[in-house]
Structure 1
Amino acid sequence: MTTIAGQLSVEQNLTPSEKKKIIFLMCSVLLFSVMNGTMFMIAVPDIANSFSLLPSQVSWVVTGYIIIYAIGALMYGKLADIYPLKTLLTIGLSLFVAGSILGFLSPTFLMVVFSRMIQAAGASSIVALAFIVPSKYFPEERGRVLGIVSSTMAFASGVGPVIGGLVSGALNWQFLFLISTFVLITIPFFRMWMPEEDKKEGKVDILGAVFIAIAVASLILFITMFTWWYIVISFVFFGLFSWRIFNSENPFINPELFQNAPYRTTIIAGFFAIMTMFGMMFMMPLMLSEVSGLSTLFIGLTLFPGAMAAAFMGKWAGVLTDKQGSGKVVYIAFTLMITGFFLLSSFVGSSPLVISIVIIISYIAFPFIQTATANLISTVLPKNEIGVGMGIYNLFNFMSGAFGGAIIGKMLDYESGVKLNPISFAQGHEVVYSNVFIGLVALTILNGCFFYLAFKRHESDQLALGNVFSHR
Structure 2
Amino acid sequence: MTTTINESVDKNVLTKTDKRKIIFLICSVLLFSVMNGTMFMIAVPDVAKSFALSPSEVSWVVTGYIILYAIGALMYGKLADIYPLKYLLAFGLSLFAAGSILGFFSPPNYIMVVIARMIQATGASSIVATVFIIPSRYFPKERGKVLGIVSSTMAFASGIGPVIGGFITGVLNWQYLFLISALVLITIPPFFWKWMPDEKKKEGKVDILGAAIIAIAVATLLLFITMVIWWYIIVSIVFFSLFAWRIFHSKNPFINPEMFGNAPYRTTVLTAFLAIMAMFGMMFMLPLMLSEVNELNALYIGLVLFPGAMAAAFTGRVAGTLTEKQGSKKVVFIAFGLMMTGFFLISTLIGSPAWILGAVIIISYIAFPFIQTATANLISDVLSQSEIGVGMGIYNLFNFMAGAFGGAVIGKILDYNSTFTINPLAVAQNHATIYSNVFAGLVILTLLNGGAFFYFSFKRKGSEYLQ
Q: Return the TM-score normalized by structure 2.
A: 0.98
- State the identity %: 72
User: Which of 249, 256, 279 is the aligned partner of 2:251?
Assistant: 249
Contact 2:221 2:236 in 1 (8 A): yes
Correspondence 1:163 to 2:164:
yes
1:256-282 Cα shifts (integer Å, max 9, x gaps): 000000000000110000000000000
Aligned match of 1:454: 457
State whether structure 2 residue 382 is matched by structure 1 residue 380: yes
Find out whether 1:13 has 2:16 as its counterpart.
Answer: no
Of 227, 231, 252, 1:229 maps to 231
Supply the distance in 1 between the matched residues of 2:307 and 2:7 (Cα, whole angstroms): 42
CA distance in 2 between counterparts of 1:366 and 1:6 reads: 31
Is contact 2:73–2:126 with CA below 8 Å preserved after alignment?
Answer: yes
Aligned to 2:401: 399
Counterpart-to-counterpart distance in 1, 2:249 and 2:203:
20
| Amino acid paired to 1:41 | M
Q: For residues 188-337 of structure 1, what are the structure 2 equivalents within 5 Å? A: 188=189, 189-337=191-339
* Residues in 1 aligned to 2:4 and 2:40: alpha-carbon distance in whole angstroms: 44
User: How far apart are the structure 2 equivalents of 1:415 and 1:71?
Assistant: 36
Contact 1:342 1:438 in 2 (8 A): yes
Question: Where do residues 433-448 of structure 1 align in structure 2 (5 Å cutoff)?
Answer: 433-448=435-450
In structure 1, the residue matched to 2:56 is 56
Task: Indicate conservation of the 8 Å contact 2:8/2:200, yes or no.
Answer: no
Q: Which residue of 2 aligns with 1:103?
A: 103
- 8 Å CA contact retained: 2:5, 2:199: no
- SS in structure 1 of the partner of residue 447 of structure 2: helix
Aligned to 2:78: 78
Q: 1:142 to 1:208 in 2, by over 3 A?
A: same
- CA deviation profile, 1:79-130 (whole Å, cap 9, x unmatched): 0000000000000000000000111122211110110000000110001101
Amino acid at match of 2:148: G
- Counterparts of 2:44 and 2:32, CA distance in 1: 18
Rounded to whole Å, the distance in 1 between the matches of 2:280 and 2:78 is 25
Aligned to 1:357: 359
1: distance between equivalents of 2:372 and 2:64?
25
Q: Which moved more, 1:104-113 or 1:209-218?
A: 104-113
Report SS of the residue matched to 2:386: helix
Check 1:109–1:198 CA distance in 2 against 1; reply closer, same or farther (3 A cut). Answer: same
Contact 1:36 1:180 in 2 (8 A): yes
Aligned to 1:427: 429
Shift of 1:374: 0.1
Q: Is the CA contact (8 Å cut-off) linking 1:347 and 1:425 kept in structure 2?
A: yes
Report how far residue 10 of structure 1 moved.
3.1
* Cα offset, 1:11, TM superposition: 2.8
Partners of 1:18 and 1:237 in 2: how far apart? Answer: 44
Please give the alpha-carbon distance, in whole angstroms, between the structure 2 residues aligned to 1:37 and 1:55. Answer: 18
Other-structure match for 1:183: 184
Q: Which amino acid aligns with 2:115?
A: F
Shift of 1:298: 1.5
Query: Could you tell me how far apart the structure 1 residues matched to 2:128 and 2:188 are?
Result: 16
For the residues of structure 2 that align with 1:325 and 1:446, how far apart are their CA atoms? 21
- Maintained 8 Å contact 1:42/1:296: no
Amino acid at match of 1:119: Q
Unaligned runs of 5+ in 2: none
Farther off after superposition, 183-192 or 71-80: 183-192
Matches of 1:289 and 1:5, distance apart in 2 = 50
Confirm or deny that 1:45 pairs with 2:48. Answer: no
Distance across 2 between alignment mates of 1:5 and 1:356:
45
Q: How far apart, CA to CA, are the structure 2 residues paired with 1:145 and 1:417?
A: 47
Q: Which moved more, 1:105-114 or 1:327-336?
A: 105-114
Q: Which residue of 1 aligns with 2:420?
A: 418
SS of 1:201's equivalent in the other structure is: coil
4+ runs deviating over 2 angstroms = 1-13
Compute the displacement of 1:352 (Å): 1.2
* Counterpart-to-counterpart distance in 1, 2:459 and 2:347: 32
- Residues 64 and 118 in structure 2, CA contact (< 8 A), matched pair in contact too: yes
Report the residue type matching 1:304 in the other structure. Answer: F
Deviations 1:131-177 (A, max 9, x none): 00000000000000000000000000011111111110000001011
Question: Aligned-pair distance for 1:300?
Answer: 1.2
Partner of 1:390: 392
Return closer, same or farther for 1:376/1:156 CA change in 2, 3 Å cut-off: same
Aligned to 2:34: 34
The structural deviation recorded for 1:21 is: 0.2
Q: Where does residue 92 of structure 1 map in the other structure?
A: 92
- Looking at structure 2, the residues matched to 163 and 203 of structure 1 have their Cα atoms a distance apart, in angstroms, of 42
Residue 451 of structure 1 aligns to which amino acid in structure 2?
F
The code of the aligned residue for 2:101 comes to I
Return the alpha-carbon distance in structure 1 between the equivalents of residues 386 and 62 of structure 2.
Answer: 33
Number of aligned pairs? 464
**Distance in 2 between residues matched to 1:6 and 1:288, nearest whole Å:** 50
